[in-house]
Structure 1
Amino acid sequence: MVDNVLRSMGYKCIATIGEGTYAKVKLATSKKHQRNVAIKILDREKNPDVSEKFLPRELAVIRRIHHENIIQVHEYFEVGRKYVFIVMEVAEKDLLQKIQEDKRIPKEQTKTWFSQMVSAVNYLHQLNIAHRDLKCENILLMTDGRVKICDFGFGRFMKESFEPSHTFCGTAAYCSPEVLRSTPYDPKKYDVWSLGVILYTMITGLLPFNDTNMTQLRRLQEMPLVYPDNVDVEESCRAFIATLLQVNPSIRATIQQVAEHPWLQVADSQHG
């Protein structure tokens, strides 16, 4: 059924390349775009709550954004009341796959890629958009060597710069303490925490907080950050990560402060 619909729109499915709770992603060739594309397929009937609350937000966000480090959406269309298709540029792999292959990301490569992520999130925050599901799986590696942020399923516009969120969104291992406590939270500061988790994971090859036990996860977040003995992490990098993984959101770095941090400036001067 889905393949037939896509064929009628000029897309020929090659394979399913991702499957999540709310959607699946297919790799397809496109006559119109003259290239391979990734097509995110959402079934409204399977996920009525998600399609009611989050899908309109996702579509509103992707309509507004255009940045070299955010995955480009070519088009989206609905078929009846059942399916929504979002057609995007296709990536080589995601950051989690890269870390699993290479164990960890070398420092200079980490600086380059992390600077690109920060640039994208800074752009979003200036538009008063929060992503709320930043994680290694949502950072895509492109064939040209850049990284791009994807999946705005939990993205939202904020009416004001500091409008609090009340919805639990995202993945526990990347969730900030205030989100896990189910208290109203600043979604921009939540994004910054998630970036801290991503940076730690790139540098060490491990998640900073194990999410198999939620009570233990919350306790770990309150304790000083521990680094594995077999990875040499310079003090300036540890200090930088500490500004992102600051338990108190009111003194956690803003994305602008993250972008201006000295640890990242070296990457900027080396790469243009």
Structure 2
Amino acid sequence: MGYKCIAMIGEGTYAKVKLATSKKHQRNVAIKIVNRDKYPDFAEKFLPRELAILRRVHHDHIINVHEYFQVGRRYVCIVMDVAEKDLLQKIHEDKRIPKEQTKTWFSQMVSAVNYLHQIDIAHRDLKCENILLTTDGLVKICDFGFGRFMKESFQHSHTFCGSAAYCPPEVLRNMAYVPKKYDVWSLGVILYTMITGLLPFDDANMGQLARLMEMPLVYPDNVDVEESCRAFIATLLQVNPSARPNIQQVKEHPWLKVDDAQDS
């Protein structure tokens, strides 16, 4: 295939990601490798959806996939552009993301999610680790392993998926949920984490997590978060999914549009 793996750059629950050189593409690429035998349930239910979504999506802020192929019957390989780092790594390096940079990157995420929702795709695993940053400072959303096509905007799902710290309370409670509203909640968690450097909800105690989400949001004392930003995050993290905005409403929110001179 013309690829030579040179390093491991990531490992999730269902896949490993390796850095590889590519003769075909004349540059380094990332190869996501799924072991069908090791995760047969994922391979049967979710992997076909991921591949179908990757065939469909083309957006400036979604990772570009070059090709996918099988190695024998066991391995499925997805070849994509390689990024400099993910958002979580950036937050760990810098403690938190400055406000104006947060607005830029968050707007790019919202643009990508708005595109997905317009073509009736929900991601269902938006988290800092799945937000890649390129060398020229652009956001690229990746990992559509839990993505799914939605025939209708308010079609419900029952599958628990994603990472608990980014899941809305209705998912944690095993209730039927609207996947697109799930994505909006996850964006709220990401925004809080970018601004403060911390996750808003501690997932160490899974049994109490949904209850914690119903309590007033707490901000660390050592971080100055403007009231307009707090209000925006509170809007995204509405416990009642019917009160949570859709992605178009998120995109149009004033906090993403105002300048420093107008902000308070």
Same fold (TM over 0.5): yes
Residue 162 (structure 1) aligned to one of 154, 159, 166: 154
1:266 Cα shift? 2.8
2:223 paired residue number: 231
- SS of corresponding position for 2:257: helix
Partners of 2:71 and 2:258 lie apart in 1 by 48
Deviation digits for residues 124-155 of structure 1, max 9, x if unmatched? 00000000000000000101110110000000
Residue 69 (structure 2) aligned to one of 77, 85, 95: 77
Deviation digits for residues 245-268 of structure 1, max 9, x if unmatched? 00000010110000000000137x
1:120 corresponds to 2:120: no
1:80 Cα shift? 2.8
Partners of 2:71 and 2:121 lie apart in 1 by 28
Matches within 5 A, 1:39-188: 39-188=31-180
Partners of 1:149 and 1:40 lie apart in 2 by 14
Residue 21 (structure 2) aligned to one of 29, 48, 51: 29
- SS of corresponding position for 1:239: helix
Opposite residue 67 of structure 2, the aligned amino acid is E
1:4 paired residue number: none
Partners of 1:86 and 1:61 lie apart in 2 by 12
2:262 paired residue number: none
- SS of corresponding position for 1:38: strand
**Which consecutive unaligned segments of at least 5 residues does structure 1 have?**
1-8, 268-272
Opposite residue 56 of structure 1, the aligned amino acid is P
1:38 Cα shift? 0.1
Partners of 1:261 and 1:200 lie apart in 2 by 16
Partners of 1:193 and 1:247 lie apart in 2 by 9
1:16 paired residue number: 8
Partners of 2:258 and 2:85 lie apart in 1 by 26
1:215 paired residue number: 207
2:244 paired residue number: 252
Partners of 1:115 and 1:194 lie apart in 2 by 14
Partners of 2:257 and 2:65 lie apart in 1 by 30
Partners of 2:101 and 2:171 lie apart in 1 by 30
Q: Which has the higher helix share?
A: 1
Opposite residue 38 of structure 1, the aligned amino acid is A
1:71 Cα shift? 0.3
Percent of residue pairs bearing the same amino acid type: 84
1:240 corresponds to 2:236: no
Q: Give the TM-score, by structure 1 length.
A: 0.94
Opposite residue 206 of structure 1, the aligned amino acid is L
With 113-122 and 159-168 compared, the bigger mean Cα shift is at: 159-168
With 73-82 and 242-251 compared, the bigger mean Cα shift is at: 73-82
Partners of 2:151 and 2:139 lie apart in 1 by 29
Partners of 1:126 and 1:44 lie apart in 2 by 31
Partners of 2:89 and 2:243 lie apart in 1 by 33
Opposite residue 10 of structure 1, the aligned amino acid is G
1:48 Cα shift? 0.3
